[in-house]
Every structure is written in structure tokens, then in C-alpha cells.
Amino acid sequence: VFGCLDGKIYAIGNEGRLRWQFDTGGEVWCSPSSDGHKIFVGSDDCNLYSLDFDGKLIWKTNLQGKIRSSSPCLTTDTNSYDDPGFPSIYIGTQSGNLYRINKDNGEILWTSELRSPLLSSPSSIQGYVLVGSSNGYLHCVKSADGSLFWKFKTADKIWASPALTKDLRVFVNSLDSHIYYLDILTGKLLWKFPTM
């Protein structure tokens, strides 16, 4: 399943034949995600779509900004004492907002205004959500309410998606040609590595 700049989402079978197509109202830059039952994908028409495996619409939610985040982050946050554990989607928009959305019905659970285009896919672990922004910050917000926990400034845009470790560390690349390694609990830089 993939999106195209013609505004459509396509499904191709293993035999290479078109199974179905679904029309959105804008270009589709976002890569789809799936939980094994549903497909989730954003569009430049500002909607996040949930489709079944036959390409039928389950729900759509307008996020007031183009969705060019590389793919929606699907999760159930059950490892945080202050989080109710809804099956959730985290997704960012060109307008600079990060959203937590109920995966079952598309309800917006919270919005965090990060004020810079979000092309990075969010990553989530144990009650924390991390996402890079086009103003060079790596943001860490709390999954329970979207409040900012910390942010770390690099010297250029962060379009890459954060990679998280089980011991609550994060790797992220910046267009300043460095890989950064930080502690999620403190936001402290542990090291950075030049890639040029």
C-alpha cells in the first residue's frame, strides 16, 4: 500500500496487480502504517485516513495542516503511570502541530503546538513521544497530555525519525551532518558523531 502525488492511495497484490485505489483530496507524501487490521495514512488535504484492507474508509480526521510526516506512529502506551493506554496514533503536520489520536475512532486526544513543520515521524516509548522539527529541535513530550518535557537544539533541520532504545536513549540525525545520542529522561546530550 502506498500513496502518490496524484492524491490516491494504491494497494498492489503480491501478483503485481492493482487491488484497489482510494482518492484523497491532496498529494500523498506520507507513508502508510498498519496495525495488521487497518491502514493509516495522511494527505496534503490535511486529513489522516483510516482504511480497511479492502480500501474502504473507516474514519478520517482533519488536522488543520498538510501531513508530510513520513509515517504515523502506532502505539499503546501502557508503561506510564499517568497514561490511560488508549491505542493511539502520533502524527505531525506542516503547520507544526503534533497530535495524539485514538486509533479506533479518529478522535483527537491532544494537540501539542511545536511551531515548526514536522516531517519526522514521531517515536514513542514508556510515556514519552519524540519528534524532530524543521527548526532543528528534537522535542520530547509526555504521551499522557502532550506537554513538553524537554527539547534539544541541533544546528539544522531534523527530518529523520528518532530511533529509541529500551534503556530510554534516543538516536537522531540532523541536516547539520551529525548523529546525536541523548538520554530521554533528562534530554542530556551523551555524544554526537559527525557524518562528513
pLDDT tens track for 98-127 = 999 999 999 999 999 999 999 999 999 999
Query: Does residue 79 surpass a pLDDT of 60?
Result: no
Amino acid of residue 43:
S
Q: What percent of the chain has pLDDT over 90?
A: 92
**Contact between residue 180 and residue 164 where contact means Cβ atoms under 8 Å apart:** no
**What's 161's DSSP letter?**
P
Q: What is the pLDDT of residue 5?
A: 97
User: How much of the chain exceeds pLDDT 70, in percent?
Assistant: 95
Average pLDDT for 58-85: 82
Complete edge-to-edge strand list for the sheet that includes strand 8-12: 2-3, 8-12, 18-23
Q: Which long-range contacts (CB under 8 A, 24 or more apart) does 133-139 make?
A: 133/92, 133/96, 133/157, 133/158, 134/158, 134/159, 136/174, 136/176, 138/162, 138/170, 138/172, 138/180, 138/182, 139/98, 139/112, 139/114
* Average pLDDT value for residue range 77-104: 83
Bridge partners (DSSP) listed for residue 74: 89
Mean of per-residue pLDDT scores for the chain = 94
Give the pLDDT mean for 1-23.
97
The predicted model scores a pTM of 0.94
Please report, for the chain, how many H helices and E strands are present, in that order.
Answer: 0, 19
pLDDT above 70 for 83: no
Q: How many C-alpha atoms does 171 have within 13 Å on its Cβ side?
A: 6
Q: Residues 150-167: pLDDT tens digits?
A: 999 999 999 999 999 999
